[in-house]
Amino acid sequence: MQGGFPNIRHMRAFLETARTGSVSVAAERCHLSQPAATQAIARLEADFGTPLLIRRRRQAVPTTCGTLFAQRAAEALRHLKEGSQAALREAGNKAQRRSTFEFSVTASQLRNLIAIANAGSFTVAARTLGLSQPTVHRTARSLEAVAGVPFFIARPSGVRLTPAAEVFVLAAKLAQTEIRQGIEEMSRELGQERGTFVLGSLPLARTTIVPKAIHAMVSNVKRFQIRVVEGRYAEVLRSLREGDIDCLIGALRHPAPADDIKQELLFYDALAIVAHPDHPLAGMRNLRLEDTLDFPWIAPPKETPAGQYLFDTLRIQEEPETPVRVISSSLGVLRGVLAEGPYVSIVSRHQINVDESLGAIAALDVPLSGHIRDIGLTYRHEWRPTETQARFIDYLHRFSKTALDF
């Protein structure tokens, strides 16, 4: 099985058998012969390396692994069904209304679609999949034929997806995530506990919370891999909504930026105006914001919570001559630039705890108001973590409780 997708028809035959307890009924519903349905289930079990059904004289009953996978497979097929319907609606009059779309799509077509969407190119997608470019192109066009809807538009730099394809690729990615989680739950049941967690991390949480949670997980759970994805909030949020990321940790947004996500508060954090410990203002008491304006500022991007506070609340851009000379959200850049001269910035107090304790960054005594932020986790609304993934979330909670104890 490649790319996270088992054979879709095999998966349907298994699900119908698990629901009805009868291979013959499942075969009829899936438009297969009974021997073909039996063979499809056997191949799926061979792919996973474990029985999914217990065959009895009058009824087929799911094994524990079969029950775990059936739940995830049903969700995956639901995503594909809703995605195919949404794609046809998006195409409007251009759609040929293929009612068989969801039943005709193949695992190969889904793998190719996701690779093309990620790469923006048939050629790059082919390299990613280890296939020839003509093969990827042919599979992509066969998907369009099945859907009866244009999915790909050629452009000089590669290919872009039509709106209908963008809707369907979202469903394909979410289906892929469900299947991945189902496979991981089966591995845990078999005593192998192989798993993954893709965490989107905004700057604040990277310094202590995430490293401590990662170390605890690696130390206590074998064969579990954690991938940390960094980036701007809008980019990471999109990856979360598309299923490429499991969970996002960082400053929460109010109101929530989309209806399909939920936010969970971990702790409150404050902003601080900072400089190098050798800065002329370091150690001085009762400073005003105006006292810092004669010095060059490193400002966080305006779209970040700290940037919003600096520009919308403190309105630093309205000064006769803006002191902002550098814009960056990188703690490494901030640390390095502060060490070079009398620069000033604003940043999360928690984010600089380690640097402050090491004497690399100092908080200036500039009173602020309305600068407390909610820090927490962001999930897809329907996301259901595996038991192993839930354990990593528990570690994030645990170390968040002591986040301000440095």
- Cα separation, 292 vs 64, in Å, equals 64
In angstroms, the CA 87 to CA 67 distance is 30
Is the predicted pLDDT of residue 93 greater than 70, yes or no? no
Spatial neighbors of 262 by CB under 8 A, at least 6 apart, are 256, 378, 379, 380, 381
Q: What is the C-alpha separation between 173 and 166, in angstroms, rounded?
A: 11
Asked whether 264 and 393 are in contact (CB, 8 A), the reply is no
Query: Quick one: pLDDT at residue 98?
Result: 65
Of 51 and 192, more confident: 51
What's the average model confidence in pLDDT over 131-156?
Answer: 93
**Backbone phi, psi, residue 168, to 5°:** -75, -35
State in Å, rounded, how far the first CA of the chain is from the last one.
47
Pairwise pLDDT comparison (55 vs 346), residue with the higher score = 346
Supply the pLDDT for residue 128. Answer: 93
- State residue 204's pLDDT score: 64
Q: CA-to-CA distance for 296 and 291, rounded, in angstroms?
A: 12
Q: Which two tokens stand for residue 323?
A: 């002191």
Residue 83 to residue 170: CA distance in whole angstroms: 7
pTM of this structure = 0.85
pLDDT at residue number 406? 38
Residue identified by tokens 């990188």 is 330
- The pLDDT value given to residue 49: 93
Mean pLDDT over 40-52 rounds to 95
Q: pLDDT band at 405, cuts 50/70/90? A: very low
Q: What is the reported pLDDT for 353? A: 82
Cis peptide before 255 (omega within 30 of 0): yes
pLDDT in tens, 213-269: 999 999 998 889 999 998 888 999 999 999 999 999 988 998 899 999 999 999 888
**pLDDT at residue 58, rounded to an integer:** 80
Q: What is the mean pLDDT of the chain?
A: 91
Contact present, 246 and 198 (Cβ < 8 Å): yes
pLDDT digits (tens, 9 = 90+) for 301-324: 988 888 989 988 888 888 888 899
Residue 114's nearest CA partner among 173, 163, 174 is 173
Report pLDDT for 357. Answer: 87
The answer to whether residue 3 scores a pLDDT higher than 60 is no
Q: Which of 66-80, 322-336, 367-381 has the highest mean pLDDT?
A: 66-80
Whole-number pLDDT of residue 195: 85
Q: Using 50, 70 and 90 to split pLDDT, how confident is the model at 352?
A: confident
Judged against a pLDDT cut of 80, whether residue 339 lies above it is answered with yes
SS3 letters across the chain: CCCCCCCHHHHHHHHHHHHHCCHHHHHHHCCCCHHHHHHHHHHHHHHHCCCCEEECCCCEEECHHHHHHHHHHHHHHHHHHHHHHHHHHHHHHHCCCCCCHHHHCCHHHHHHHHHHHHHCCHHHHHHHHCCCHHHHHHHHHHHHHHHCCCCEEEECCEEEECHHHHHHHHHHHHHHHHHHHHHHHHHHHCCCCCEEEEEEECHHHHCCHHHHHHHHHHHHCCCEEEEEECCCHHHHHHHHHCCCCCEEEEECCCCCCCCCEEEEEEEEEEEEEEECCCCCCCCCCCCCHHHHCCCCEEECCCCCHHHHHHHHHCCHHHCCCCCEEEECCCHHHHHHHHHHCCCEEEEECHHHHHHHHCCCCEECCCCCCCCEEEEEEEEECCCCCCHHHHHHHHHHHHHHHCCCCC
Decide: residue 104, CB within 10 A, 0-12 exposed, 13-18 middle, 19+ buried. Answer: middle
- Chain centre distance of CA 231: 12
**Using alpha carbons only, how large is the chain's radius of gyration in Å?**
26
Contact of 282 with 364, CB cutoff 8 Å: yes
pLDDT of residue 205: 63
The mean pLDDT value for 98-119 works out to 91
pLDDT at 94 over 70: no
The stretch 366-371 carries a mean pLDDT of 90
- Report the distance separating Cα 237 and Cα 247, nearest Å: 9
